[in-house]
Amino acid sequence: MRTLYLVTHPEATHHTEGLVGGWYDSELTPAGARAAVAIAEELRKRIPQTADVELFSSDLKRTVATAEEIAQRFRLTPMLDRRLREKSYGEAEGKAVGSTPGYRPPPAEGDRLHYQDGVRGAETIATFAARAYQAMTEILSRDCEHQILVTHGGTVTFLIASWIKMPPESLGYVNFRAAPGSITVLREDSASHHRRVESLGEVGHLVEIS
């Protein structure tokens, strides 16, 4: 049986400062750093000491800091992959939320997959999803029982979609919500090869974090 743990980085400075994240390289806040410890300890409880484990992470500071806490407990070196980044919001990144002129939300109907939102340099859903799908395909090609992926809230949607083999043409509407610091568990049965979304966006390990 293969198990994947999708970890969303906890609170970062762009959250508390009201800034657009994306590829903006914000860092964990003190509360986020404490949450990263709680995430690492929770994963260590769940995964057997003798298990074969791999650790992957987006290459941005907030995810790397989270992955490093996990790495310490598993004696691993995180494999950094920029394809696990959040969506790029182009010239809006690092600016106050809502302050970028020209933004247009996607339409209710039509080609949402390739829709350009009016912000220079922003990724379309198609581009964002394609790199997440590519990363997941390569990760799943590796023979490892437990794989931890440290990523971003928006990216989780397309990693799950790839896991359940959702066709790309359906991705313009899908959204799986995963809060900062959450753990999502994906499992594949070794006999039937059914792929399950065992849990989505667990945050129970963060209850005592303040």
Using CA atoms, how far apart are residues 56 and 20, in angstroms rounded to an integer? 24
For residue 210, the model assigns a pLDDT of: 64
**pLDDT under 50: residue ranges of the chain:** none
Domain 2-206 has CATH 3.90.226.10: no
Residues 136, 4: Cα–Cα separation, whole Å: 10
Q: Is the dihedral of CA 147, 193, 153, 8 positive or negative?
A: negative
Residues involved in catalysis: 9, 86
What tokens were used for 17? 């400062």
pLDDT of 54 reads 98
Outline where 17-60 has alpha helix (H): 30-46
Task: Find all residues with CB under 8 Å of 99, minimum gap 6, and list them.
Answer: 92
User: CA–CA separation, 128 vs 117, rounded Å?
Assistant: 13
Token pair in block for residue 114 = 């390739």
Closest to 2 measured CA to CA, from 47, 40, 38: 47
pLDDT at 1: 86
Per-residue pLDDT at 208 = 78
User: How far is Cα of residue 139 from the mean position of the Cα atoms in its chain?
Assistant: 14
Cα angle 152-186-55, degrees, rounded to a multiple of 5: 55
How far apart, in whole angstroms, are the C-alpha atoms of residue 39 and residue 11? 12
Annotated binding site for substrate: 62, 86-89
For residues 59 and 65, give the distance between their C-alpha atoms in angstroms, rounded to a whole number.
Answer: 10
Domain extents for the chain?
Answer: 2-206
CB atoms within 10 A of CB 135: 23
pTM of the predicted protein model:
0.96
